Amino acid sequence: MKIGLNATCLNNRPSGAKQRFVGIYSEVAKSLPESEFVIYEPIDCSVKTWFEDLDNVTVRKTPIQSEGRFERLFGGLRYWPSQLAQDKLDFFEGFHLPLVRSPTGQTLLTIHDIRGIKSEAGIIVRSIYKTILDNSAKKADRIITVSEAMKTELLEYCPNIPISVIYNGLDASAFESVTNLDLLQVKKKLALPNDFILSVGHFEERKNYLRLIEALDLLSKSGTSCSLVIVGNDSGERTHLESKVKSLNLSGQVQIFSGLSDHEVRCVYKLSSLFVFPSSYEGFGIPILEAMAAGRPMVLSDIAVFREITDNQGIYFAYDDVEQMASAIGEVLNSSVEQEQMIRYGKERVKEFSFKNIAKEVVGIYKD
């Protein structure tokens, strides 16, 4: 088989999409040594370094920028028709909208979420996104999405499309390799407190950090003193977070970090007392898997995909209810029994999300 992967939407910025792509398709390429993989990389990123130990992977530089939907669209208008006709692929997989369809073989499309429709943008923007989604879904031979919750959402907007669910994955061994010395060094470097709750994800409105900071304020006023660490990269919301912290006089209790290495983030997970994921909308939720691998108890917003990932075994709160969020956090912080139960469950559950297991499902789709 000759399999093309359109990675022009990816770059060196950390993201769940990038983690999924590298983790899953490295294992797919290893499991199909007789197949040829062609990865189309953007002009502003070297994808080759992600797959350099695989002899059956060829990386092809494109003139397409990784940032900006319109830049990608117009950059590919002249490139894709001739290049794909020349490559004669058996499978071509896309990972962003709008879908580029191959003139040969089968074309697959992975959709992580449809927050473009769910966003608070104007009706014109949402309508444009809906049109692009409809057209792309109709052109794909198979849609792949990351959760049953996301599949249900997609079928509401695009009924009768051929769709498969393949979860995101995680290399849990990376957390197991963290040493006590690593933890001491990172704790000192970042000046972390002995006990703190942790939240991880890009700084954007749907991550719901403003309410999490308000919940911390309620906990402090009720006598439960705790610190909060938020780790992520800025997507436009950081100044709002800092303003909220300042307005509530919580500067001594809240630390916000960007630009940490993967190793440092893993250490911060393991140093935390509790992981909190307050998002109002997600297609999946890789930080949940990371918290499981790190052996941390969790408190999660009550959205369908979080219940799916955790088999309804977690402690949940309504994402728009600050008092309920604070109550759930306080409950787990004050219950060693609940903490131990969640840690045991998470250690077993995360094994089901290994990249090797998930890669088998991708191979199964090719063979199907």
Tokens of residue 264, six digits? 């440092």
How confident is the model at residue 119, as a pLDDT?
A: 66
Q: Are 82 and 103 in contact (CB under 8 A)?
A: no
How confident is the model at residue 72, as a pLDDT?
A: 81
Tokens of residue 223, six digits? 């006598």
How confident is the model at residue 148, as a pLDDT?
A: 98
Q: Which helix (H) or strand (E) holds 19?
A: helix 16-31
CA–CA dist 183, 199 (Å, integer): 18
How confident is the model at residue 71, as a pLDDT?
A: 78
- Residues across the chain: 368
- Residue 138 neighbours by CB distance under 10 Å: 10
Residue ranges of domains in the chain, CATH in brackets: 2-166 (3.40.50.2000), 173-352 (3.40.50.2000)
How confident is the model at residue 75, as a pLDDT?
A: 83
How confident is the model at residue 325, as a pLDDT?
A: 98
pLDDT tens sequence for the chain (368 residues): 999 999 999 998 888 999 999 999 999 999 999 999 999 999 999 998 899 889 999 999 999 999 877 778 888 889 999 999 999 999 999 999 999 999 999 999 999 999 888 766 678 888 989 999 999 999 999 999 999 999 999 999 999 999 999 999 999 999 999 999 999 999 999 999 999 999 999 999 999 999 999 999 999 999 988 999 999 999 899 999 999 999 999 999 999 999 999 999 999 999 999 999 999 999 999 999 999 999 999 999 999 999 999 999 999 999 999 999 999 999 999 999 999 999 999 999 999 999 999 999 999 999 98
Which of 25, 23, 39, 33 is closest to 1 using CA atoms?
Answer: 33
Q: At what angle do helices 286-293 and 262-271 cross, to 10 degrees?
A: 60
Under DSSP, the state recorded for 223 is T
How confident is the model at residue 126, as a pLDDT?
A: 86
Q: Are 362 and 28 in contact (CB under 8 A)?
A: yes
b/e 266-305 (16+ beta carbons within 10 angstroms → b): bbbbbbbbbbbbbbbbbbbbbbbbbbbbbbbbbbbbbbeb
How confident is the model at residue 73, as a pLDDT?
A: 80
How confident is the model at residue 121, as a pLDDT?
A: 65
**Which residues face 255 on adjacent strands?**
229
pTM: 0.94
Q: Are 117 and 136 in contact (CB under 8 A)?
A: no
| DSSP assignment of 50-75 | GSTT-TTEEEEE-S--SS-HHHHHHH
